[in-house]
């Protein structure tokens, strides 16, 4: 099986400026950006007006590597999970569950593993060492 670990920079309303900076400073190509407001509506998790213009996800290409950059939801940024996280991309929900549960053992679940509009199984967990992982299952 193939897995991918990608650094994920999580900011508090500064993602657009950071993306422009990294593109310039690192000769990075901006491959994708989407704000929270541009994502599909989810009546169970409505996006507040204060979050609609924040970057929900961006992908920068640095040579052969990816760098993810996004803003936290308003009011959720802080020392918990730090500003740099690791996004683990895995091919199937069974592996996601196995990785998620192993990292949660002695750690803390930030967002339970669940189906979401961009992944059949996605969750966020901070392990026992204080490192936050986003577990992302490819479609």
Domain coordinates in residue numbering, the chain: 10-72, 79-139
Q: Kindly report, residue by residue over 35-69, the tens digit of the pLDDT.
A: 999 988 888 888 889 899 999 999 999 988 999 99
- Please report where in the chains the tokens 């026992």 appear, as a residue: 128
- Please report where in the chains the tokens 């994920």 appear, as a residue: 8
Give Rg (Cα) of the chain: 15
Which class is domain 10-72? alpha beta
- CA–CA separation, 68 and 32 (whole Å): 10
- Please report where in the chains the tokens 């308003």 appear, as a residue: 74
Which class is domain 79-139? alpha beta
Q: Kindly report, residue by residue over 60-105, the tens digit of the pLDDT.
A: 999 889 999 999 887 776 555 458 899 999 999 999 999 999 999 9
Same fold, 10-72 and 79-139: yes
């Amino acid at each position: 099986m193939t897995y991918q670990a990608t650094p994920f920079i999580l900011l508090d309303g500064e993602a657009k400026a950071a993306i422009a900076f990294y593109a310039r400073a690192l000769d990075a190509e901006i491959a994708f950006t989407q704000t929270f407001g541009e994502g599909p509506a989810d009546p169970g998790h409505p996006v507040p007006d204060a979050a609609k213009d924040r970057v929900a996800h961006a992908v920068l290409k640095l040579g052969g590597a990816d760098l993810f950059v996004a803003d936290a939801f308003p009011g959720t940024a802080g020392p918990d999970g730090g500003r740099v996280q690791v996004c683990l991309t895995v091919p199937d929900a069974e592996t996601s569950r196995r990785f998620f549960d192993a990292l949660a053992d002695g750690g803390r679940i930030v967002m339970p593993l669940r189906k979401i509009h961009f992944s059949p199984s996605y969750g966020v967990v901070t392990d026992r060492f204080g490192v936050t992982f986003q577990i992302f299952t490819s479609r």
